[in-house]
Amino acid sequence: MKRVYVNEKWCLGCHLCEYNCAFAQTGEPDMARALKDKTIHPNIRVEDGDDVHFAVNCRHCDEALCVKSCITGALSKTADGVVTIDQDKCVHCFTCVLTCPYGCILPTEDGAVTKCELCLKTTKGKPACVAGCPNNAIVFEER
Amino acid sequence: MNYVIIGNSAAAVGCVEGIRQVDQKGKITIISDEPYHTYSRPLISYLLCGKTTEELMRYRPDDFYQTNKVETILGQKVTKIDPDAKQVLLESGKTVSYDKLLCATGSSPFVPPMKGLETVEQKFTFMTLDAATALQKAITPASNVLIIGAGLIGLKCAEGIFDSVRSVTVVDLAPHILSSILDEAGAQMMQRHLEKQGLKFYLNDSVESFDHNTALLKSGEKLTFDQLVLAVGVRPNVSLIKDAGGKVGRGIVIDATMQTSLPDVYAAGDCTESHDISSDQDRILALLPNAYLQGECAGKNMAGASCVFDKAIPMNAIGLLGLHIITAGSYEGEEKCVQDKESYKKMFIKDGKLKGYILIGNIDRAGIYTNLIREQTPLSEIDFDMVFEHPSLMAFGRGYRDKVLAGK
Ligand SMILES: Cc1cc2nc3c(=O)[nH]c(=O)nc-3n(C[C@H](O)[C@H](O)[C@H](O)COP(=O)(O)OP(=O)(O)OC[C@H]3O[C@@H](n4cnc5c(N)ncnc54)[C@H](O)[C@@H]3O)c2cc1C
């Protein structure tokens, strides 16, 4: 399946992917207005070192431990392999936070759980993080 | 191939999904004494506090049995396994034949003998949907509820009814709450949080005797209550396998392929004994993820694939009245700990590996720690000080990141 893959050495650490992700989630037309004065909850997060930067988001694992461990059945895989979350079923027990080996499922401040769904429910086509990356540090492809 | 599964919960669902990854055609029959569509057992407390509904707490979609071509016999207890005839006997007298059988019978509440318990009219356990709805019907806004057991189930029950009753009091023999998953300092932090919200505890104490609506504690304290919930512990349901001559310890004994000592009979979930790799010991891991993973592994093997599940560890994610705990592994070895007002973090390191951890409050990216335990990663391969501070992939080598993030 197509996933978001990282070209670590090209990542500038600009964090634009985080903003594009958060913006895509709002469904609003204007980024500045949608995100102004808001704490963003992006599903892709850049880790910054001294001179290393890279973005991390859900790997949509073939053997997804989060899905297998989910106590409610809120997490599941689509036929295409995308790990999605049914927010109505989720009770925020954080068992997925406990089990995701890469720390890609994130609790938000209001106690909910959020994760990358490859923009399945927002933009169609390329995930917003990849579409807005200025340096091809993340790409959406089959590997 | 003719598959029969006893039980209809996490391990059973895992088994169905495991079988169907390998065999699309074989006949699958699920038999369970609970007469419901598969539901998430841990959600019974969330049902009581209105955070889910009976529809939403279904563990799989409504068409699960149809999609996976599963026949169900619900509301029927299996009374016997005959491993020679390869049949199970139902309480109705009917028999069901199998080629491969999974025992996923889970566990039952353990109620120790207590003096005067028979005089208590409104007493409950807290393990099933029926038990939860019975409790829900009994309580009123004026109820004073007494819970025996400050473990996971007792405290989840307390949380579930907390807003609907006048008071909740919890008694436990152990000196601190959640003694199976927390150390003393962590438990104290959690207890303070719960007490601040109004929960009452009597620890290091137990009921000497009941007399109708009063409980006399060993300490001399006398408590009156309207409803009593018994959440002292659970026992794996092993009798079907034991009576059929299968090997049973504290739970049903299985190998890494989930097979019991009986030919063509597998077992998975809370009814079994697991090998905990973090302590290198066999123990009962009554946890939903473990039940699913064991069930799935059993299913694949029953269908002829070869699969082992040999990465079982204790692990828990539990929130109580707004404060979250994540724990994993076993608590042995050298300790490393930081604590402030709102959060608590403790790690246990032995033989150069992370063996266990406790997080309260800040639980972000905890799975990175869980993975270190599960994969038994030598800590010399990563920047452990960095990862201790904040779980990150930065603390891992470039090679690991290339594999995980770049698919190389
Ligand atoms: C209140 C509560 C909260 C919990 N919270 C969590 C949590 O947050 N995280 C977590 O990981 N785990 C939690 N658990 C534990 C979790 O529910 C179990 O680990 C999980 O349900 C085990 O699944 P299982 O399939 O092994 O067995 P079970 O869920 O126990 O199901 C076994 C089924 O088999 C049926 N059965 C038994 N014997 C027979 C028979 N002879 N004939 C026919 N049917 C039979 C039973 O009636 C039952 O329906 C919680 C449990 C409770 C009670």
What is the per-residue pLDDT across B219-248, written as a single tens digit (0 to 9) for each? 999 999 999 999 999 999 999 999 999 999
> With contact defined as beta carbons under 8 Å apart, do B108 and B237 qualify?
yes
Q: Which of B46, B289, B326 sits opposite A91 (nearest CB)?
A: B46
Per-residue pLDDT, A39? 87
Q: Which residues in chain A are contacts of B370 at CB distance < 8 A?
A: 98-99, 101
Q: B369 to chain A: nearest residue by CA?
A: A101
Among the ranges given (A48-52, A123-127, B178-182, B254-258), the one the predictor scored with the smallest mean pLDDT = A123-127
Nearest protein CA to atom 29 of ligand 1, as residue: B9
Ranges of each domain in chain B = 2-108+234-302, 117-230, 324-405
In single-letter form, the type of residue at position B290 comes to N
Q: Which of B229, B250, B215, B45 is nearest to B125 (CA)?
A: B229
Whether pLDDT at A99 is above 80: yes
B65 touching A, CB under 8 A? no
Q: Which residues contact B160 (CB under 8 A, 6 or more apart)?
A: B44, B45, B46, B47, B48, B49, B132
Read off the DSSP letter of residue B134.
H
A105 touching B, CB under 8 A? yes
Buried b (16+ CB within 10 A) or exposed e, B173-204: ebebbbbebbbeebbebbbebbeeeebebbbe
Whether pLDDT at B369 is above 90: yes
Phi-psi sector, B181: left (phi>0), alpha (psi -120 to 50), beta: alpha
- Give the minimum alpha-carbon distance from A29 to chain B in angstroms, rounded to a whole number: 31
Q: Which residues contact B120 (CB under 8 A, 6 or more apart)?
A: B210, B212, B213, B228
CATH architecture of B2-108+234-302: 3-Layer(bba) Sandwich (3.50)
pLDDT, tens digit, 9 for 90 and up, residues B104-115: 999 999 999 999
Alpha-helical segments (H) within B139-248: 152-161, 184-196, 239-243
User: What CA–CA distance (Å, rounded) separates B156 from B150?
Assistant: 9
Q: Which of B43, B289, B316 sits opposite A72 (nearest CB)?
A: B43
What average pLDDT does the structure give for chain B? Answer: 97
Whether pLDDT at A63 is above 90: yes
Per-residue pLDDT, B175? 97
Helix or strand (DSSP H, E) at B336: strand B334-339
Q: Which of B266, B288, B292, B293 to mutate to test the pocket of ligand 1 (most atoms within 8 A of CB)?
A: B288
Tell me if domain B117-230 and domain B324-405 are identical in fold.
no
What average pLDDT does the structure give for chain A? Answer: 94
Whether pLDDT at A109 is above 80: no
CATH architecture of B117-230: 3-Layer(bba) Sandwich (3.50)
Q: Which residues contact A124 (CB under 8 A, 6 or more apart)?
A: none
Whether pLDDT at A124 is above 80: no
User: What CA–CA distance (Å, rounded) separates B39 from B133?
Assistant: 14
| Domain B324-405 CATH superfamily | FAD/NAD-linked reductase, C-terminal dimerisation domain (3.30.390.30)
Distance B243 CA to ligand 1 centre (A): 21
User: What CA–CA distance (Å, rounded) separates B40 from B29?
Assistant: 20
Q: Which of B49, B105, B327 to mutate to test the pocket of ligand 1 (most atoms within 8 A of CB)?
A: B105
- What distances in angstroms separate CA A138 from CA A14, A40, A71, B394, one per listed residue? 12, 20, 32, 17
User: What CA–CA distance (Å, rounded) separates B98 from B6?
Assistant: 11
> With contact defined as beta carbons under 8 Å apart, do A116 and A71 qualify?
no
Q: Which residues in chain A are contacts of B51 at CB distance < 8 A?
A: 91
**Domains and their CATH numbers in chain A:** 1-57+122-143 (3.30.70.20), 60-115 (3.30.70.20)
pLDDT, tens digit, 9 for 90 and up, residues B77-129: 999 999 999 999 999 999 999 999 999 999 999 999 999 999 999 999 999 99
- For the entire predicted model, the pTM comes to 0.97
Phi-psi sector, B352: left (phi>0), alpha (psi -120 to 50), beta: left
